[in-house]
Amino acid sequence: MYKFLIACLFSGLLFQDSHTIRWNLDNRLEWSDFKAEPKPSNNSVSVTASGITFSYSSKKSETRLIDYNYTVRADFYPNKSWYLKEKVDNNILNHERLHFDITELHARMFRQRIETTRFTINIDNQMNGLHDAINKELETLQKSMMLKLDILKI
């Protein structure tokens, strides 16, 4: 089996792209979704670019938060994702899907934190703090997964 290192890109803000694929259990990634030209390095055979995209709006008075709305989703960026056709198989595709699933897991964790946070008039700082924290956790787990694969020489 080929040794490979999967590079993951985490922040939806870094890779705003006109074409994204939202995570959906009934619509799993296929190799045809990976549209970027291959850029092999460090023995990588594929790259999944995904991230958490979020937005929110709030209504405030001078002294308090009145209401807020938010959207959080896990997105895959086809034009930033690639693979080496001659070196991949279904096991590697399942591995790439797992990277996207991990992004969705963190999007769900982010939604849960938003739902359980008592926001104040400082909602902007609070939302950005939650987003930064979840992205750090996402990055840590994705890197951990890559390091384990490198140790296993997969």
- For each of the chain's 154 residues, which pLDDT tens digit applies? 222 222 333 334 344 446 999 999 999 999 999 999 998 776 789 999 999 999 999 999 999 999 999 999 999 999 999 999 999 999 999 999 999 999 999 999 999 999 999 999 999 999 999 999 999 999 999 988 777 665 554 4
Range of the domain at 42: 7-152
Q: Does residue 28 sit within a domain?
A: yes
91 assigned to some structural domain: yes
Has residue 130 been placed in a domain? yes
Contact by Cβ (8 Å): 83, 34? yes
Q: Is 43 left (phi over 0), alpha (psi -120 to 50) or beta?
A: left
Neighbour count for residue 100 (Cβ, 10 Å): 22
Domain contains 2: no
Rounded Cα distance between 35 and 23, Å, is 17
The number of distinct structural domains making up the chain is 1
pLDDT of residue 150: 57
Residue at token pair 């999967």:
6
**pLDDT at res. 59:** 97
Q: Is residue 140 part of a domain?
A: yes
> Is position 114 within any domain?
yes
**pTM greater than 0.95 (yes/no):** no
